[in-house]
Amino acid sequence: MNFFDFTVLDNKGVETPLANFKGKVLLVVNTATGCGLTPQYEALQKLYDDFGAQGFEILDFPCNQFLEQAKGSDDEIQQFCTLTYHTTFPRFKKIDVNGESADPFFKFLKNEMPVPTNEGNKIKNLAIAAAAKLSKAVHEDNDIKWNFTKFLVDREGKVVARFEPTVTPDVIAPAIKELL
């Protein structure tokens, strides 16, 4: 399978083939609305505003596996993100990213890029790693450790980078620009 073979559910439960995004540079993010990193939504929207017209999309997948920080229904998450952070990029149905119930799409992403490309701030990563141990998620070597892990995908559907949650969207901007 490749990236564009998958079909995911949008936040209304409608099947969305990822083939709809063929030819675009993509940033796939597992998110949460009650996390200390939630303000990254603002920086994600800035990326979308800066690069969207050039063929860039953000695919937002809320996940409640990390200390239940994405509480609420898909509609409530959508309302929170649009009202609080004015997000306009596509948001999908809440999913699991780790463990036996992990969505096949995220299993694929983790297999394609099992190790983060950029460790980011090590002190913050240690704090996230410690907090992740408290979560109910099962961690394996390539598991997602926390909310706001980001996968960068080129126009052909190749996963080219994986960024830990503490790597902020502005740090990723040059890589996006290069792919565009």
Cα radius of gyration (the chain)? 15
Which tokens in the block code for residue 33?
Answer: 């609305």
Active site residue 81: no
Encode burial over 52-74: b for 16+ CB neighbours within 10 A, e otherwise.
eeeebbbbbbbbbbbbebbeeeb
Do the beta carbons of residue 85 and residue 42 sit within 8 Å?
yes
For residue 84, give the H/E element and its range.
Answer: helix 74-84
DSSP state at residue 63: -
Do the beta carbons of residue 126 and residue 164 sit within 8 Å?
no
Do the beta carbons of residue 35 and residue 80 sit within 8 Å?
no
Do the beta carbons of residue 45 and residue 85 sit within 8 Å?
yes
Spot the catalytic one: 8, 18, 32, 35: 35
Which residues carry out catalysis? 35
